[in-house]
Amino acid sequence: MENVREILNWYIDAGVDLALEDHPVDRFTEITPTPVKRTTELPKQSLERTDVAPEPQRPLSSEPRSQATLPDGAAIKTAQELAASANDIEALRNAMSQFEGCNLRLTAKTLVFADGNPEAQIMFVGEAPGRDEDLQGLPFVGRSGQLLDRILSAIGLNRETAYISNVIPWRPPGNRPPTPQETEICRPFIERHIELVNPKVLVMLGGSSAKTLLKTTDGIMRLRGKWCEYSTGNIKTQAMPTLHPAYLLRQPAHKKLAWQDFLKISQSLKKSN
C-alpha cells in the first residue's frame, strides 16, 4: 500500500489527478506475440500472420466520444459564428456545450460556464477552471475561490451580487496554462459573454485574463490597479485588472496590493449606485 501511495502521489505531482477512461485498463496484461521463426523463403500461399494472439478489446464507453480537431482558423471562425448567434446567456451556454472546436473538452469533465447573478453590476473573469471547478461545474470553488469569496465579502459583495466566469470554460489537463491557440478559440465566447452581461465594472483576475481581454503583453504588475476602458461588441465598460487569488495564495505578501485594487472597485460601485 505504501508503494501505491507513492505512485499516486507521483501522478498527482505530475498533474495527473483524474481518470480519462470510464473503465480501468491494465496495460500489463497486454498479450505479447509469439516470436516468429525466420525462414529463408516466405510462404507463397499467404502473407497473413496466424501465430499472433488477438489483441484484447478495451471496454467501450456507452456514450460516443467526440474526436479531436485541428486548432486552426476554422475553429476560431466557428466559435465567432456561434457566439454571435447567441442572443442571451442561456443560448450562449448551449452554443458552448455543442462546440467541438476546442480539444480541452475531451479531457474536461464539465463545461464550467459561470456562477453568480448575471444581472449584477460587476463581473469577474479568470483564466481557466481547475480540478475542483471541473468536478463541480462552477468557477472559483477551490482554495482560490474561497479566498475570492472572502475578498468579496470584505467589500460587501457575494455570489448573489456578482457574476463570475473564465476565459477558458474547460479545465486544461493537469491545470497547465492554456495554449495561445486554445485561448484564441475560446476568446469569442467570453467576449460575447461580457457583452450579454454588460456589467458596469469588469474585473480581470490575473495576468492571463487581462492580457487576453485587453490584447496586451504587459504583465499584471504593470496593469493591476489601473482603470481602463474595455469594449466588445456594442458595449463599453470600465475595467480593472488585479491579482489572481491563486497567485495571492502563493504570494500572501501581495494581498495588500489586491486589497488596494478592491477598495477602488468598491468605491466605483458605490458611485454608480
CATH homologous superfamily of 73-272 equals: Uracil-DNA glycosylase-like domain (3.40.470.10)
Residue 13 phi/psi, 5-degree rounding, is: -60, -30
For residues 198 and 188, the answer to whether their CB atoms sit within 8 Å is: no
Query: Model confidence over 218-248: pLDDT tens digits?
Result: 999 999 999 999 999 999 999 999 999 999 9
- Phi, psi angles (nearest 5°) of residue 5: -60, -40
Query: Is pLDDT at 15 greater than 80 in this prediction?
Result: no
Q: Which residues are CB-neighbours of 236 under 8 A, at least 6 positions away?
A: 229, 230
In DSSP notation, the chain reads -HHHHHHHHHHHHTT--S--SSS---GGGPPPPPPPPP-SS--SS-----SSPPPPPPPPPSS--PPP---SHHHHHHHHHHHHH--SHHHHHHHHHH--S-THHHH-SS---EEE-TTSSEEEEES---HHHHHHTSSS-SHHHHHHHHHHHHTT--TTS-EEEES--SPPGGGPPPPHHHHHHHHHHHHHHHHHH--SEEEEESHHHHHHHHT----HHHHTT--EEEEETTEEEEEEEE--HHHHHH-GGGHHHHHHHHHHHHHHHHHH-
State how far the Cα of 134 lies from the Cα of 138, in Å rounded to an integer. 7
pLDDT digit string, tens, across residues 119-143: 999 999 999 999 999 999 999 999 9
Q: Which pLDDT band holds residue 3 (cuts at 50, 70, 90)?
A: confident
Residue 89 and residue 72: Cα distance in Å, rounded? 26
Say if residues 34 and 53 touch (Cβ distance below 8 Å). yes
The residue with cell 525466420 is 38
Q: What pLDDT is stored for residue 72 in this prediction? A: 81
pLDDT value of residue 71: 76
Radius of gyration of the chain (CA): 24
- The domain spans of the chain are 73-272
Q: State the Cα–Cα distance between residues 239 and 232, nearest whole angstrom.
A: 12
> How confident is the model at residue 58, as a pLDDT?
41
Measured in degrees and rounded to the nearest 5, phi and psi for residue 79 equal -60, -40
